[in-house]
Amino acid sequence: MLPSSRCRPLRSQPSSDAATPAVSAFYDRFPYPGDPLQDGPPPGYNWRWCVDSVRAFVEGALPPLVAEQRHRPWRILDAGCGTGVSTDYLCHLNPGSSVLAVDISAGALEVARERCRRSAAATQVAELRIEQRSLLDLMDEGEFDHINSVGVLHHLDQPAAGLQALAQRLRAGGHLHLFLYADGGRWEIQRTQTALQLLGVGHGAEGLQLGRELLATLPESNRLRRHHEQRWALDTAADANFADMYLHPQECSYSVERLLAVVAASGLAFAGFSNPEVWDPARLLQGELLERARGLPDLQRWRLIEALDPDISHFEFFLRRGAPVPRQPPTDAELMASRCERNRCLWGWPSAALLGPDLMPLQLTPQELALMQAWEKHPQATLAELPMDLGAGDRCRCLRTLLSERLLHRIQD
């Protein structure tokens, strides 16, 4: 059990979603995700689970710390936490926050509680609650600064109702991170699912055995087998992960156009993809074709990328309660008056050789490293006030680079 001083007891409530009994029973059999348990903090980081990083990404700046606070005390909901992988990261990446993690599967929650106990997740936050509840039935919980719901809504009987329920729990200016299946990249998966349904293999141990047998015995040239072996074999090595992909009793997927229509109906504002590099046409096109693509309105550009890349198997994105924040590049004068803090989602700091927020290697110049180190020592200083031998022009150039690579976050005035 988690420490009683930091975690309320498990709580159970009936759910109002028609798919819940079948989905709950499925995840009791196959607690998902099947990531192994380990002692100590989770490995590395995922910046999408660090609310400071999300705020800086979406809003362009962070609110200042209040009084003697060391951390911003966010109120966070993990809606559909499964075996607690996301909950574990949310606690370790958001120290001092309050975290509520809910799921409909008692079996998955047993694993989540054990995972968080072994990682000491509850010691990192002001409060951690792990409760057996549906995300549709949280009306008594008030509002949250940040909601994480990864791979959940597409398993509801009515995903739009689930999104509406989460929207009602989001504080004004708060953010919701979603991960939903995409039509295009699941072509082979959906056909394998259909084949297994027609064969009547079921959703339990027999289905798992026969599903693996199917993909192992189809002809080597078969597209479904090749696709599985080349792309998904490693991800589905754990039985729970294989079952979640091929045997799930309830799921749906979206095109980018249908996805944005559902978002619009929720009353929330689309605040950007959390994997924006996937939606950059420069990774697929060049020359005049690239210029034409860049000139398209957002939806048409995203539909173009969706059409050109059939491997896009999911959408991951942020929504905001309230209108999107206008973003203009700061002037040099604004930069010189800025205060910043280091992104905690970096690997290798303090060093000039780092892995950035997306785990890509970065090499800092001596000036960039010196600027970051100066801010570590003088967190209340503006760029102009930092005690270092660097002119205004060089300071602004360094800071622009560090902000674009998301190594530093600006603090709101």
3-class DSSP string for 275-328 = CHHHHCHHHCCCHHHHHHHHCCCHHHHHHHHHHHCCCCCEEEEEEECCCCCCCC
The CA-based diameter of the chain, rounded to the nearest angstrom, is: 72
The pLDDT value recorded for residue 282 is 98
- In 3-state terms, what secondary structure has residue 363? strand
Report whether 149 contacts 80 (CB < 8 A): yes
Helix (H) or strand (E) holding 100: strand 98-103
The pLDDT value recorded for residue 104 is 96
Residue identified by tokens 């015995």 is 217
Query: In the structure encoding, which two tokens stand for residue 305, read together?
Result: 């990328």
- In 3-state terms, what secondary structure has residue 124? helix
**Residue 253 main-chain phi, psi, to 5 deg:** -140, 170
Closest C-alpha to 188, from 341, 285, 313: 313
Cα–Cα distance measured from residue 405 to residue 388, given in angstroms and rounded to the nearest whole number: 22
Report whether 91 contacts 66 (CB < 8 A): no
The pLDDT value recorded for residue 327 is 82
- Whether the upstream peptide bond of residue 361 has omega within 30° of 0, thus cis, is no
CATH (one of 3.40.50.150, 3.40.50.300, 3.40.190.10, 3.30.360.10) for 1-183+253-327? 3.40.50.150
- In 3-state terms, what secondary structure has residue 127? strand
Q: Are strands 75-79 and 340-342 parallel, antiparallel or unpaired?
A: unpaired
Residues of the chain with pLDDT under 50: 1-15
Closest C-alpha to 127, from 158, 90, 155: 90
Cα–Cα distance measured from residue 186 to residue 248, given in angstroms and rounded to the nearest whole number: 14
Cα–Cα distance measured from residue 52 to residue 50, given in angstroms and rounded to the nearest whole number: 6
Report whether 191 contacts 227 (CB < 8 A): no
The pLDDT value recorded for residue 14 is 45
Cα–Cα distance measured from residue 55 to residue 177, given in angstroms and rounded to the nearest whole number: 11
Of all residues in the chain, the percent with pLDDT exceeding 70 is 96
Residue identified by tokens 């600027």 is 371
Report whether 240 contacts 31 (CB < 8 A): yes
pLDDT tens-digit series, residues 267-325: 999 999 999 999 999 999 999 999 999 999 999 999 999 999 999 999 999 999 999 88
Closest C-alpha to 187, from 22, 84, 306: 306
Torsional sign, CA 21, 23, 24, 25? positive
The pLDDT value recorded for residue 16 is 64
Helix (H) or strand (E) holding 131: strand 127-132
pLDDT tens-digit series, residues 50-79: 999 999 999 999 999 987 788 999 999 999
**Residue 147 main-chain phi, psi, to 5 deg:** -125, 130
- In 3-state terms, what secondary structure has residue 271? strand
Closest C-alpha to 313, from 81, 83, 89, 151: 151
